């Protein structure tokens, strides 16, 4: 695993912890620091921004509109936008079970992007067995 680069400055503790957790995960093995670090920095900054906005929304689901009427907090829409961006990055970098499985199978090992199904399964089983052996 590559060493974890320092997190961007100004992040909340939860985002710093998330950054460290990613770099401690098997998905970090697939990262090319030169190519991927800027995208990962954007991911963690968006993640931090999501945490900050969600805290404000939890405190005020409704706010006063321009005429004094109660309206949904506009940050709710911002959270939805951030959620889409975060989900995309989490998929790209193997932060979901399905994305991790795709990385584990290693489709990129074959220039055509395809392996016989039996080979994929055998490779996945071998990697899992190797991890279990290393862990215990």
pLDDT for residue 136: 54
Cα-flanking dihedrals φ and ψ of residue 121, to 5°?
-65, -45
The first and second tokens of residue 16, run together, are 């710093």
Beta strands of the chain (E only): which ranges? 62-64, 70-72
Q: What is the pLDDT of residues 27-71, one digit of tens each?
A: 998 899 999 999 999 999 999 999 999 999 999 999 999 999 999
Q: Where are the domains of the chain?
A: 13-94, 106-136
Q: Where is average pLDDT lowest: 61-65, 78-82, 96-100, 123-127?
A: 123-127
27 and 93 Cβ atoms separated by less than 8 Å: yes
User: Strand, helix or coil at 34?
Assistant: helix
């Amino acid at each position: 695993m590559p060493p974890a680069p320092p997190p961007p400055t100004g992040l909340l503790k939860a985002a710093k912890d998330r950054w460290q957790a990613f770099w401690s995960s098997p998905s970090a093995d697939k990262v090319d620091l030169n190519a991927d670090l800027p995208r990962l920095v954007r991911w963690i900054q968006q993640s931090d921004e999501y945490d900050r906005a969600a805290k404000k929304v939890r405190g005020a689901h409704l706010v006063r509109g321009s005429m004094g009427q109660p309206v949904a907090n506009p940050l709710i829409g911002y959270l939805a936008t951030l959620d889409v961006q975060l989900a995309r990055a989490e998929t790209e970098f193997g932060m979901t079970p399905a994305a991790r499985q795709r990385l584990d199978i290693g489709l990129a090992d074959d220039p055509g992007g395809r392996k016989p199904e039996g080979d994929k399964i055998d490779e996945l089983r071998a990697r899992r067995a190797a991890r279990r052996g290393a862990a215990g």
